[in-house]
Amino acid sequence: MTTTEEKRSAFRALHAEGCFVIPNPWDAGSARMLQHLGFKALASTSAGFAWTIGQPDYRVSRAAALAHLALLSAAVDVPVNADFESGFAATPEGVAESVQLAIEAGVSGLSIEDRDLERGRLYDTAMALERLRAARAAIVDSLADVLLVARTEILLIEPDEITRAIDSLVAFADAGADCLYAPGVRKREDIAAMARAVAPKSLNVLAIDPTMTLAELADLGVRRISIGGALARVGWAATVAAAKELRDGSFTPLAGGMPSKELNGVFAGFPA
């Protein structure tokens, strides 16, 4: 089994050059399957995990999220980046405490959003930076080589605020973030502008436009590509479509399932 330190070192190396896809499993089984398929790193999905326990996104407790992250990190030999929402705390001190707990859970990286969940808005720039610096200080104090990802959610609220998003990412980079992320950016020219603005730090882009390829995003300067809860939604869509046919009396969809022998063969390669 790969050690936590080795995973963290490998994760940082992935951010040094090139471009890679970091898919988002929602449980240990999906994490192991994605590793089996050859992905070099994984990222949790807060939404995908929430749905597995019958909750909407942002309804999961810190304790449940940490237990989930520990399970994912222990299940695979590749690095796991935590979708850590807004740090499960409003104050910088609370964020620092949460980050320390995430590090102890074994993650190789974690993201902190600028979303103020209590007030239903974004934190102002000063507070967002203070919270981010607290996260960075917690990582430094831990002596763990954990990657810090800073997210601004502005484009999910105001899709045209590209300049504001870029300004936030630049400020986050200056505050100590290793990787910058503004989910919601779509246009090629905007993605390229973000990548230039935060360089030499890494830019993460959420795959939104299915017509864009990894090669195209790499050419725009993107370092890593995540998919959020998209893969989980694909799974839910297939399950619901099949279940509707079962409800209506047809068992035809069951013929399209992955063979048990193949699934057992994949998972047999992992330690108990």
Write the pLDDT tens digit of every residue in 90-124.
999 999 999 999 999 999 999 999 999 989 999 99
Q: What angle do CA 178, 88, 16 make, to 5 degrees?
A: 15
Mention every residue, 6+ apart, whose C-beta is less than 8 A from residue 224: 14, 15, 19, 20, 21, 22, 41, 179, 202, 203, 204, 205
Domains of the chain: 4-229 (3.20.20.60)
pLDDT band at 200 (very low <50, low <70, confident <90, very high): very high
If phi over 0 gives left and psi between -120 and 50 gives alpha, with beta otherwise, what is residue 99?
A: alpha
- pLDDT for the residue numbered 30: 98
pLDDT digits (tens, 9 = 90+) for 223-269: 999 999 999 999 999 999 999 999 999 999 999 999 999 999 999 98
Would you tell me how many other CB atoms lie within 10 Å of the CB of residue 240? 9
User: pLDDT band at residue 155, thresholds of 50, 70 and 90?
Assistant: very high
Q: Given CA atoms 250, 251, 257, 263 in this order, what sign does their dihedral have?
A: positive
Is the pTM above the cut of 0.85? yes
Cβ(180)–Cβ(226) below 8 Å: no
Exposure class string for 81-119: b at 16+ Cβ within 10 A, else e: bbbbbbbbbbebebbbbbbbbbbebbbbbbbbbbbbeee
Q: At 1, is the pLDDT very low, low, confident or very high (cuts 50, 70, 90)?
A: confident
Q: pLDDT for 210-224, tens place per residue?
A: 999 999 999 999 999
Confidence tier at 180 by pLDDT (50, 70, 90): very high
The pLDDT value recorded for residue 272 is 81
Q: What pLDDT is stored for residue 55 in this prediction?
A: 97
